């Protein structure tokens, strides 16, 4: 049994496909297939059931793969210890960020990290919350910036900031002159939502639960529209299709509640959008940094949290709270 074989079975379990797993491991499919057969023969069990269209994992295979993931994680920890020596701030750190945070946090975060830990470059990946949690547990990323709530996972997390939501309107909308908007009034409007898989979609549905029934049945086509990113939705609002809810870090704080904008880098926002805050209680989301309990580079965690605290995040409330298990 080799670490390479363990890596192969974890990849197959993730991809459910031999060819894709081989590509992910940078080997040919025959090489991977031979290695899996060798491991199954050695253990005298069948790890995978081969079907015509997909691969499934046997019950005993599930246990073997779970143990293989733990072995690979510990092996990576040994490599990190050896590489870093006595300085955990040397060497890259793999950071995952959800789609609705990355564009607004990363530009400032990367600059702060270069200042605070120049020998610890960030290897960045954007993805959905559930995918990032999976990659964390598999040891394929080290830490992730995600928003609560997320499923109980046994990960450790540290709160970073609370982020209020605002309503984005097209110019000349009847609500444009209001100083604040009641969340209950959203159900009167055509709402633009992110598609399934985005946790921010769930946050918006939490603000106005009545939208849930529109987004789940055929009549919803007339009432709600879905976009692939916040920036796509922002442009859809600007075109007058409807309104939406955005996290405040995606909006310049000086633009919220203002009706005459004289400076902003986004021309679409200048000419065609208005942002109005919610009435109390203002809906928001808590953004956290999450990592595995077995992660060894705790000073790196501290630096990332300090770097986020130093970032320019308009409207967000920075937090200084202890870590806890998620």
Tens digit of each residue's pLDDT (9 = 90 or more) over 275-317: 999 999 899 999 999 999 988 889 999 999 999 999 999 889 9
Using a pLDDT cut of 90, give the percent of the chain over it: 52
pLDDT class of 259 with cuts at 50, 70, 90 = very low
pLDDT of residue 161: 97
How many residues are there in the chain?
326
Residue found by looking up tokens 């609002």 in the block = 237
Residue found by looking up tokens 């770097």 in the block = 307
pLDDT of residue 258: 52
pLDDT class of 189 with cuts at 50, 70, 90 = confident
Taking residues 86-100, what's their average pLDDT? 89
Contact 161, 311 (CB under 8 A): no
Neighbours of 200 (CB within 10 A): 22
CA distance 168 to 251: 9
What residues contact 170, with CB distance under 8 A and at least 6 apart? 237, 238, 239, 240, 243, 272, 273, 274
User: What is each CA distance from 208 to 189, 201, 222, in whole angstroms?
Assistant: 11, 11, 17
Give this prediction's pTM: 0.70
Using a pLDDT cut of 70, give the percent of the chain over it: 87
Tens digit of each residue's pLDDT (9 = 90 or more) over 270-282: 468 889 999 998 9
pLDDT of residue 241: 87
């Amino acid at each position: 049994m080799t670490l390479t074989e363990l890596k192969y079975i974890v990849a197959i379990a993730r991809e459910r496909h031999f060819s894709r797993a081989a590509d992910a491991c940078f080997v040919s499919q025959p090489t991977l297939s031979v290695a899996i057969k060798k491991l199954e023969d050695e253990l005298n069990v069948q790890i995978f059931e081969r079907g015509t269209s997909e691969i499934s994992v046997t019950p005993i295979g599930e246990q073997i793969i779970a143990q293989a993931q733990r072995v690979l994680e510990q092996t990576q920890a040994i490599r990190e210890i050896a590489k870093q020596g006595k300085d955990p701030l040397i060497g890259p750190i793999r950071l995952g960020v959800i789609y609705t945070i990355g564009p607004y946090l990363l530009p400032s975060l990367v600059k702060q990290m270069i200042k605070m830990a120049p020998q610890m470059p960030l290897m960045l990946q954007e993805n959905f919350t559930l995918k990032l949690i999976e990659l964390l547990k598999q040891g394929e990323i080290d830490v992730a910036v995600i928003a609560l709530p997320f499923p109980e996972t046994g990960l450790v997390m540290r709160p970073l900031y609370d982020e209020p939501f605002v309503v984005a309107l097209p110019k000349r909308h009847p609500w444009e002159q209001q100083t604040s908007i009641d969340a209950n009034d959203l159900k009167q409007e055509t709402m633009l939502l992110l598609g399934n898989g985005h946790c921010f979609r769930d946050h918006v549905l939490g603000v106005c639960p009545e939208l849930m029934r529109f987004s789940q049945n055929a009549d919803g086509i007339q009432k709600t529209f879905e976009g692939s990113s916040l920036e796509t939705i922002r442009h859809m609002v600007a075109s007058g299709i409807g309104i939406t809810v955005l996290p405040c870090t995606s909006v310049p704080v000086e633009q919220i509640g203002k009706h005459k904008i004289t400076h902003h880098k986004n021309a679409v926002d200048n000419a065609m959008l208005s942002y109005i805050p919610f009435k109390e209680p203002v809906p928001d989301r808590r953004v956290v940094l999450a990592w595995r309990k077995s992660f060894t580079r705790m000073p790196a965690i501290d630096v990332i949290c300090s770097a986020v605290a130093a970032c320019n995040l308009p409207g967000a409330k920075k937090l200084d709270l202890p870590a806890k298990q998620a």
